[in-house]
Structure 1
Amino acid sequence: MKTRFAASAFALIASSASGEALDRTIPDAVGRAAPALEAYSTNDLLGSVWTGEQLSMRDRSLVTFAALMTRHETGNLQRFVELALDSGVTPAELSETVTHLAFYTGWGNATAAAEAMAPVYEARGIAADSLPGAEVDLLALDEEAEESRESFVRGTYGDVSMGVVDNTRELLFRDLWLRPDLAPRDRSMVTVAALIAAGQPEQMTFHLNRAMDNGLTQEEAGAMLSHLAFYAGWPKVFSALPVAKDVFENRAE
């Protein structure tokens, strides 16, 4: 019964552009080499997880892209670039996601993601001059929150590496996080997704709280964890669950 329902749910979106792009994320070779994997992919991952109402397909595609970029899965990225664009992520938002995650997953991952994106953008007529450049009008800074964050980091790590402290302040929180072409909620969401995919739950507390302060709901955060189990693996998600549990409980107090 579950399998029939899942397949039926997927059929409802299969005729749309995003549904067709989602279907293409499972290569034909999977069925030839691992029929059971193809069945799980079609019936459960595409038919149930991706159609879950707790998180939009647009958000799921952005979260998945962030996870694959973090894991340097360059062979899969083009399919998910297409899916993200067909699911409502704008070219500017995806471009900003790559730039943002360079600071959280490393320059090599960001460069590889850009190389995977470029042919899709070219095929769709998305020119570089239509994307956000280095010079943009930044969003307003929350001075109180930034002062608190800076004070903690400087007091804790100033004697270890002032370079890290200074670059975190100037490049990340007074520049990158204030760029307007990716909403604060989405910046937080892809950051949390990247931390989960990288197996770095110890960094999640600050960023999950920030995500929820920026508008991500607890239901959406929970759905993101469930979704990422398929793309980052169950062990990484189970490592992240205790952190999420603590954040949710502390916010409820």
Structure 2
Amino acid sequence: MISELNLIPVIDLLQGQVVRAVRGDRQAYRPIVSALCASSDPVTVARILCDHCAARQLYVADLDALQGRDTQIAVLVDLLQALPDIELWLDAGLADASAGQALRSQLAPFAARIVFVYGSESLRSREALERCFDAAANEGARAALSLDRRDGRRLDAAGCWDAVDLWPERLIVMTLERVGSGAGPDLETLQEVRRLAPRAMLIGAGGIRSEDDLARAGAAGADAWLVASALHDLQLPRRAR
């Protein structure tokens, strides 16, 4: 029986191509080699992944932006135009509310279909955390907070993990060393976040290998999971719409 846990396919963009995530080590990412997609073209890969998962959302990590370079606006516009029924979750290394507002302006025709992701590894300060979700709400925009960690260490200059009262309604638990690892999902951390945020939409990331992993993630309190490697390696069956 197929798990009811929502799947959100992920594409990692680097210099205009989809690359394969390897334990969150961005220096090791290479153009995607996939049993599912015979291409590293972003639109081609996104279409195939979304179709395979019967997905209504697509998560895009802009690795150029996350490493301090320009956001890949042209690629993002191509994706938004090619997939008009998809909600795009965008992680582009946003450091504060003004960065989010600037990016929203650049993507203005599509802004209603974008969830802007603020990552704890990127937010510059507690003040930035306090302001970014208020600013998004005031502008009618949607946003999510990604609680990032690697090898048991929080990536969290802004103190996001401890600021439970500032958490928004959409939360991502991002365990970077599990991404592309085949090591299984980090359910212990997810359960702790679920305990602290019982009403949030909670999305896990990293480590999914099978439908059994998805079932365990759902039982642990996840509403959705970000997936990529398990799809490219044909570890998850096609879902019917």
Q: TM > 0.5 between the two?
A: no
**More helix by percentage:** 1
Higher strand proportion: 2
| TM-score tier after normalising by the smaller chain length | 0.3 to 0.5
Tell which structure's C-alpha radius of gyration is larger. Answer: 1
What TM-score, normalized to structure 1? 0.33
